[in-house]
Amino acid sequence: MDTAFIGHKFFIYFHHVFQIEIMKRLRHPNVLLFMGAIFSQEKPAIVTEFLPRGSLFKTLHRNNKPLDFSRRLRMALDVARGMNYLHRRNPPIVHRDLKSSNLLVDKSWTVKVGDFGLSRFKDATFLTSKSGRGTPQWMAPEVLRNEPSTEKSDIFSFGVILWELMTESIPWSNLNSLQVVGVVGFMNRRLEIPENLDTRVSPIIRDCWQSNPALRPSFEDIIQRMTDVILSFTGLPARKNTAILSNTI
């Protein structure tokens, strides 16, 4: 019997077990709800709630009807809330593969964080983990250089998602993955922020993209800033909007 094949099967099995261990303890309106798991000899499967609109990537880039600015702002706030919940867990959970295709949209346009395949608990074991493959177009420069990932790496990825939501463009669509590794990880380049982008949003994106991870904001900070942007955009009294914006953080 092929021992390499058996080893690979065990790796896949424990990979799914670890993902289940993460997901089964999570309960938040902006985190995909885990409902169970199926283990078979062929391939384990994770059962989650069904979100009919599919991924945020699909909703943004394969939707015939553009999303209005207000809705895109609220979607970004949903992502920040879901990620803030993960980062505030004990121990914190670092997603490590945060991108629009791993974010799912329900029928009421609420966005939920999903796909915990590369996630790690932040402790002595996992803080220094460099394993796993994400998608370079959304990844932080330190991760592209194969350096350890932390919560601040997720913040950088959120900045790419916020840019994606605001511009309705695919990040680094003109480059292949290897080129992205070079220009972001080693040449310190960033996506171009359009001059006509709302001046209340562009500073949030730039702060998320700080080269020094320690200078990037937390999701708690981002939630407050995004909330202020949405309140100012609506032009309605803050008290009336509080009910709309309030959610578990």
- State the pLDDT at residue 233: 82
What's the pLDDT at 86?
Answer: 93
Rounded distance between C-alpha atoms, residue 126 and residue 212, angstroms: 20
The domain of 195 spans 52-245
The CATH number given to whatever domain includes residue 222 is 1.10.510.10
Residues 81, 89: Cα–Cα separation, whole Å: 13
**What's the domain count of the chain?**
1
Instruction: Give domain status of residue 3, yes or no.
Output: no
> Does residue 39 belong to any structural domain of this protein?
no
Residue at 29 is within a domain? no
Q: What's the pTM? A: 0.83
Predicted confidence at residue 245, as pLDDT, reads 52
Give the torsion through C-alpha atoms of 213, 218, 219, 222, to 10 deg: -100
Judge whether 135 lies within some domain. Answer: yes
Which of these is catalytic: 2, 68, 78, 97? 97
Q: According to the model, what pLDDT value does residue 115 have?
A: 78
The amino acid occupying position 183 is V
Phi, psi at 36, each rounded to 5°: 160, 180
Q: Is 207 a catalytic residue?
A: no
| 249 contact partners, CB below 8 Å, separation of at least 6 | 81, 84, 85, 220, 223
Q: What is the pLDDT tens value at each position of the chain, 249 positions in all?
A: 444 444 445 445 555 666 677 777 789 999 998 877 776 666 667 777 889 999 999 999 988 888 999 999 999 999 999 999 999 988 888 988 999 999 999 999 999 998 765 455 444 333 333 444 578 999 999 999 999 889 999 999 999 999 999 999 999 999 999 999 999 999 999 999 999 999 999 999 999 999 999 999 999 999 999 999 999 987 654 434 444 455 556
Q: For the purposes of burial, counting CB atoms within 10 Å of the CB of 64, is it exposed (0-12), middle (13-18) or buried (19 or more)?
A: exposed
Note whether residue 41 is domain-resident: no
Tell me whether residue 31 is in a domain.
no
Would residue 23 count as lying in a domain?
Answer: no
> Is 82 among the domain residues?
yes
